[in-house]
Amino acid sequence: MSIDQLMGSLQALEEKLLKKNKQMAEQLFQSKLKLKDKEDILEKGNRGRGRGGNRRRGDRGRGSYSQRKFDKSNLNSNSSKGQGRQHYSRSSRERSNNDRRNKVEENANYAEKDEESGDSSLFLACKGAKTCENSAWYLDSGASNHMCGSKSMFVEFDEFVGGDIVFGDATKIPVKGKGKMLINLKNGKHEFIANVYNVPNMKNNILSLGQLLEKGYSILMKDYSLLIRDNHDKIIAKVQMAKNRMFLLNIQTNVAKCLKLCLKDPNWIWHLRFGHLNFDSLRLLARKDMVKGLPYVKHPDQLCEGYLHGKQSRKSFPQESSSRAKRPVELVHTDLCGLIKPSSFGKNNYFLLFIDAFTRKTWVYFVKEKSEVFDMFKRFKALVEKESGYYIALRSDRGGEFTSNEFKTFYTENKIRRSMTVPFTPQQNGVVERKNRTIINMAQNMLKCKKMPKEFWAQVVECAVYLSNRSPTRSLWNKSP
C-alpha cells in the first residue's frame, strides 16, 4: 500500500469517527488537522470509484486525500505497460511529506469574554487533542475559570449557579453548577480546588492559571516546563510541555465517601410535623385523641439535631407567675420581636405577640416598622373584646412602641388597665418572653431542618403559633389553648 493510499484510508476513518461521535463539547476542545494546499486543482472528471473524492481512475483506497502537483523534473518515466501510473523519486516524496507537515494547521474553537453578560471565557488551542481521562487537566492561561465535565468528581456542588461559555461563533454552552473538588497530594494530604464550573459532556478538564494567580499561586514557564509555587514559594507542581505544546497535569481526585441515613420512622415524622414538639406531648395528644389520625408515638433513642441548634438560651425565665388570671383577656401579655433580617417576603421586619394569661392562646401580627404596633393593638383589642365580651388589660415592657403618646392617649380614653415591667427585667413579663423563645426555637428548627431560605421566617413563625395553640400546655394542666 502506498503512502497516498494509507493517508487516504486514515483520513476516511477519521471522518467516519468524527461523524459518529460528533458532539458539541468535542468541537469546542478538540482540534482537527486539515491538509491544505493552494495549488490543489479539483477537476470534475477526476472522480473515481470508492469513497475518495480526488483520485484518478483505478486508484484504490477509501480516503479523500487530495492529489497534489509535483515538479515534473522529479518524475521518472518508468511506467509499466498498461498501468498508466507514474512513479516519482524518493526526494519528491520527502519534499511532499514536508509540505504536508508545514501545511498542518492547529485549529481550535475559542471563547470570548462577554463583558455585558459576565459569561466565562475559554481560549484553548490544542493540536490533535484527544479525550483525556478524568485525572488529566490542561493548564490554560486563556480560561477564566476551572472547568470539569464530570459532576461525580465534586464533593460540594451548587446546582443553582448558572451562566454560559460564549465562543467565537456566538454559540454558547451552559454551565450547570459550581463546586469544590478534593485532590490527593503526593505527601498523602488533601486539598480543595474551589470554584470549579461543571460543563456537561466536557472531555478535557481545564485548570485556569488566572484563577490560580488570584489564589496567591505564582506561575513560571521556563525550559519547556511550567512551575506552580504556593505563597510560601514551595513548588507544588512541575509540568513538562507535551509534544503538542500543551501542559497536561494529572490530578487524582478523591470523592468523599459518606453514608447518609434517611429516617422514615413515623415517630420522627410526627415530631417534625408538630414543629419539633417534645415526644411526651405527642404521646399525650395521641392518648387523649386530641388530634385525629395521630398514632401512638414512641421516644427514639437519639436527639434531634435541629432541636439542639434552635434551643439555645441565655438565661431561664420563671415557669409560673405569682398570680393567675380568672377570666379571658383579664391580662394580656405582649411583646415585639425584631429587628429580623433579612426581611420576610412581605417586607416585614418584626412580629408582635399577644398571649391571653387565662387561656394561653397566642395571636401574632407582622409589622414593617415599630410605628405600626399601635394600629395592630387597636385591631387586636377590638377582636378579642368582641369575642370574649370582657375588657382588656395589657402588660408590656417599656419599649418605645408601647410608651408613645398615641398609646398613652388611647389608654386614658378607653380606660385600659396596663402594667409595665421594670427596665431590663424581662422576667416580669415571663409568659410572653417564654412563648417568644418557644416560637423562635420552633421557627429556627423548621428553617434549619429543611434548609429553607431565611426569608420564610414569617410563614414559619405563623405556623409555629398555629401549632403552639394546638399543643398541650403545662399551665392548663396539659390541655391545649
Look up the CATH number of the domain holding residue 346: 3.30.420.10
Residue 459 has a pLDDT of 92
Pairing of strands 235-240, 225-229: antiparallel
Specify whether 233 is located in the same domain as 279. Answer: no
Specify whether 349 is located in the same domain as 283. Answer: no
Helices (H), 311-403: 373-388
Q: How far apart, in whole angstroms, are the C-alpha atoms of residue 313 and residue 329?
A: 29
Q: Does 219 reside within a domain?
A: yes
Give the residues of the chain that fall short of pLDDT 70. 1-2, 4-5, 19-134, 167-168, 186-187, 254-264, 301-302, 305-323, 481
Specify whether 465 is located in the same domain as 340. Answer: yes
pLDDT digits (tens, 9 = 90+) for 250-307: 877 766 565 555 656 777 778 778 887 878 888 888 888 888 878 877 777 667 766 6
Q: Does 22 reside within a domain?
A: no
Look up the CATH number of the domain holding residue 181: 2.40.70
Q: Does 438 reside within a domain?
A: yes
Neighbour-count burial of 55, counting CB atoms closer than 10 A to its CB (0-12 exposed, 13-18 middle, 19+ buried): buried
Specify whether 294 is located in the same domain as 394. Answer: no
Residue 463 has a pLDDT of 92
Specify whether 162 is located in the same domain as 281. Answer: no
Q: Does 73 reside within a domain?
A: no
Containing structural domain, residue 353: 331-469
Element (H, E) at 207: strand 205-208
Residue 215 has a pLDDT of 85
Specify whether 432 is located in the same domain as 460. Answer: yes
Residue 32 has a pLDDT of 43
Specify whether 352 is located in the same domain as 295. Answer: no
Quote the number of domains for the chain: 3
Specify whether 391 is located in the same domain as 291. Answer: no
**DSSP label at 51?**
S
Specify whether 151 is located in the same domain as 278. Answer: no
Q: Does 424 reside within a domain?
A: yes
Q: Does 149 reside within a domain?
A: yes
Residue 349 has a pLDDT of 93
Specify whether 210 is located in the same domain as 144. Answer: yes
Specify whether 458 is located in the same domain as 372. Answer: yes
Q: Does 124 reside within a domain?
A: no
Contact between residue 183 and residue 190 where contact means Cβ atoms under 8 Å apart: yes
Q: Does 434 reside within a domain?
A: yes
pLDDT digits (tens, 9 = 90+) for 443-452: 988 888 888 8
Specify whether 416 is located in the same domain as 390. Answer: yes
